[in-house]
């Protein structure tokens, strides 16, 4: 009997889904210090303004805010420090090749626990134009209106 993998969402980046088309997704580990892990266990994380860069064959996440742990005093790190993401060399090479194409970038999509490990889901994304965003908003409005009609008719 296989073990079920438990996962708990810490932070989600809704803005990324609004601003980009997500082409591919990758799961990466993240290099953290003790008080950062404790803060993440309390759910104190934001990736709204975060972005990912590849420097010299290593992947880093910039702008990921992990609030200082309340009881961490001198052991707390800078909340916005640059954190290293852990991926295999093949994955990094594939990501590097994909973002060389015009209009592609790497964005963090969510931070979550996978068993006892903290993982970051990153996406290879292509930017949306204004008319694409308007189409998405129109589709959401139509869906919301249809659900509202269904509720009214159901009663």
How distant, in Å, are the alpha carbons of 18, 55, 106, 115, 142 from that of 49? 13, 19, 13, 26, 29
Structural domain boundaries in the chain? 8-128
**CATH superfamily, domain at 8-128:** Small protein B (2.40.280.10)
Mean pLDDT of 62-76: 80
Query: Which distant-in-sequence residues (6+ apart) come within 8 Å of 40 by Cβ?
Result: 10, 32, 66, 111, 118
Q: Report how far residue 10's alpha carbon sits from residue 25's, in angstroms, rounded to the nearest whole number.
A: 18
Tell me, what's the pLDDT at 155? 58
| pLDDT given for residue 137 in this prediction | 84
Query: Residue 49 above 70 pLDDT?
Result: yes
Average pLDDT over residues 42-46: 86
Q: Percent of the chain scored above 90 by pLDDT?
A: 27
CA angle 133, 104, 127 (to 5 degrees): 10
**What pLDDT does residue 5 have?**
63
User: Percent of the chain scored above 70 by pLDDT?
Assistant: 92
Residue-wise pLDDT tens digits, 15-40: 888 888 899 999 999 998 888 888 88
Q: Is pLDDT larger for residue 26 or for residue 133?
A: 26
Give yes or no for residue 72 having a pLDDT over 90: no
What gap in Å lies between CA 129 and CA 150, rounded to an integer?
32
pLDDT of residue 1: 44
pTM: 0.76
CB atoms within 10 A of CB 46: 16
């Amino acid at each position: 009997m296989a073990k079920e993998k438990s996962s708990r969402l810490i932070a989600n980046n809704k803005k990324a889904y609004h601003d980009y088309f997500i082409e591919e997704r990758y799961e990466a580990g993240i290099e953290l210090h003790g008080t950062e892990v404790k803060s993440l266990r309390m759910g104190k994380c934001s990736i709204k303004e975060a972005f990912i860069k590849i420097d010299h064959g290593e992947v880093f996440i910039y702008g990921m805010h992990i609030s200082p742990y309340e009881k961490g005093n001198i052991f707390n790190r800078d909340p916005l420090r640059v954190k290293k993401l852990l991926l295999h060399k093949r994955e990094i090479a594939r990501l590097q090749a994909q973002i060389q194409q015009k209009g592609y970038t790497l964005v963090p999509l969510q931070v979550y626990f996978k068993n006892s490990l903290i993982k970051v889901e990153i996406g290879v994304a292509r930017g949306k134009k204004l008319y694409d965003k308007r189409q998405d908003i129109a589709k959401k409005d139509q869906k919301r209106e249809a659900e509202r009609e269904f509720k009214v008719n159901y009663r």
